[in-house]
Amino acid sequence: MKPKVLVTREVFDEVLEYLSQYFEVASNQSDVPMDYETLAAKISDKQGAIITLSDRIDAPLLERCPNLKAVCNIAVGYNNIDLKACRKARVMATNTPGVLDDTTGDFTWTLILATARRLTEAEAYLRKGQWDGWKLKQFLGLDVHHATLGIFGLGRIGQVVARRAIGFEMKVIYHDTRRMPSEIEEACRATFVSKDELLAQADIMTIHVPYSSETHHLISQPELKQMKPTAILINASRGGVVDDSALIEALRSGTIAAAGLDVFENEPKLNPGFLELKNAVLAPHIASSSRATRYKMAMLAAQNLVAALTGKTPPNLLNPF
């Protein structure tokens, strides 16, 4: 008998075909998001699951899953999984690092350029038929070239973003919990600075840290007040790293100039304040969403699950025990 596994959201057919070679697969190809109770009921008799960032795996859920051996996130972030509870229940947890760095870095640049040059605001104006001709002062934006890029978190994705900045001849500064080795700093042409210096000096600040209790509201009212009034803030990391209410207030009052956001607190429910702001470029958590990369993420999660349930160490095991 093949082990039973659950795939909580729609994936590519090839991923299902691969999984079906090893497992009896129950898959939610209709892609209707499962609430916590539905997930608990569907996963309770399974040995493994392919999950996504909206599937919460915690101690009470694990108690209801006596056969569960592995949960494999289709995401590099894993704040939806309680790793301690998984270790206690001897459930392996995995993520998908590496395969999405370039694509997420590219999208960070999409947000930087669109926000600095007010693209979505200008397009909305044009689509509404309001454009009545060229004007010298129309949609004046911020120059990205030669500006100072501040990177909060110079991990894999932060490094991709930094390397792309070389083409824009920018000054790159970064802050992280620790200074990076000199080879990385040199490849990124990035200078380590304190958090205060990063906030005060960046013309464009982009965040690339994982979400945890330590990074909850890393950027809130005091930090926003330390930024330049002309600065823009970019977040393609996780909702909750930025205090959305404080950001909306800062964008309304001109404490900072603009923001480009792919992630939000309580997504997909958006704080309605964002929708009224012309100086916010908003995207629905799509930074890693190129066809090639989402395929690689889903396949890597499947490979992790196959390894976990066939007696091997999954390549991206988060909680060795």
Footprint of ligand DGY (CB under 6 A): 53, 75-77, 100, 285, 288
How far is 160 from 220, CA to CA, in rounded Å? 25
Q: Catalytic site residue 117? A: no
**Among residues 51 and 149, whose Cβ is nearest to ligand DGY?**
51
Query: What minimum distance in Å lies between the beta carbon of 210 and ligand DGY?
Result: 8
**Among residues 51 and 76, whose Cβ is nearest to ligand DGY?**
76
In which region does residue 197 sit, left (phi positive, over 0), alpha (psi from -120 to 50) or beta (all else)?
Answer: alpha
Query: What minimum distance in Å lies between the beta carbon of 60 and ligand DGY?
Result: 24
Query: What minimum distance in Å lies between the beta carbon of 76 and ligand DGY?
Result: 4
Task: Look up residue 140 and give its amino acid.
Answer: L
Residue positions counted in the chain: 321
**Among residues 112 and 301, whose Cβ is nearest to ligand DGY?**
301
Which residue, 238, 242, 216, is CA-closest to 288?
238
Q: Which of 56, 156, 216, 285 is catalytic?
A: 285
Q: Which of 164, 208, 238, 294 is catalytic?
A: 238
**Among residues 42 and 285, whose Cβ is nearest to ligand DGY?**
285
**Among residues 75 and 154, whose Cβ is nearest to ligand DGY?**
75
Question: In the structure encoding, which two tokens stand for residue 310, read together?
Answer: 């066939």
Query: What minimum distance in Å lies between the beta carbon of 238 and ligand DGY?
Result: 7
Q: Which of 9, 121, 267, 294 is catalytic?
A: 267
Q: Catalytic site residue 285? A: yes
Query: What minimum distance in Å lies between the beta carbon of 318 and ligand DGY?
Result: 13
Angle, CA of 139, 250 and 242, to the nearest 5°: 110
CB-based contact 250:243 (threshold 8 Å): no
Q: Which sequence positions are flagged as catalytic?
A: 238, 267, 285
